[in-house]
Amino acid sequence: MNDDLPVELLAAPAVRAFVAALNTQDKEAFEAALAPGATMSDDGNERDLAEWTEREIFSSGGHMDVESQSDDGLTLVARYRNDTWGEMRTSWVFTVEGGKVARFETGQA
């Protein structure tokens, strides 16, 4: 049985837009979900957002199945998979400003 949260039930609209765009591989919608100058880290290391998203999401078929949300939808635990690394359990913490994702921090959960 699949207990994943449907994207439409994610509580934070900016996070919902981010996950929906990621899962549909829609670069335009993904960029629209981000605030200007958005930043990110992966396993505690600052990364170049454009390079990381191209490598880990768009050129490798990234997909996120959300298991749970907390902190009003700003913290997710998800099974993340792509063609490079396979599937792993990950945590995602989002900072939203002006209705857009200004920062996200991801890493293994």
Percentage of residues in the chain with pLDDT exceeding 90? 96
For the chain, the residue count is 109
Domain total for the chain?
1
- Indicate which CATH number applies to the domain containing 73: 3.10.450.50
Q: Residues 19-33: what's their mean pLDDT?
A: 98
Decide if 2 is inside a domain: no
Decide if 1 is inside a domain: no
Provide the whole-model pTM.
Answer: 0.95
Decide if 35 is inside a domain: yes
Task: For residue 2, name the pLDDT band (cuts at 50, 70, 90).
Answer: low
How far does the chain reach from its first CA to its final CA, in angstroms?
Answer: 22
Q: Pick the closest to residue 19 from 80, 58, 64 (CA basis).
A: 64
Decide if 98 is inside a domain: yes
Decide if 26 is inside a domain: yes
* Contact of 107 with 43, CB cutoff 8 Å: yes
pLDDT in tens, 34-82: 999 999 999 999 999 999 999 999 999 999 999 999 999 999 999 999 9
Structural domain boundaries, residue 16: 7-108
| pLDDT at residue number 9 | 95
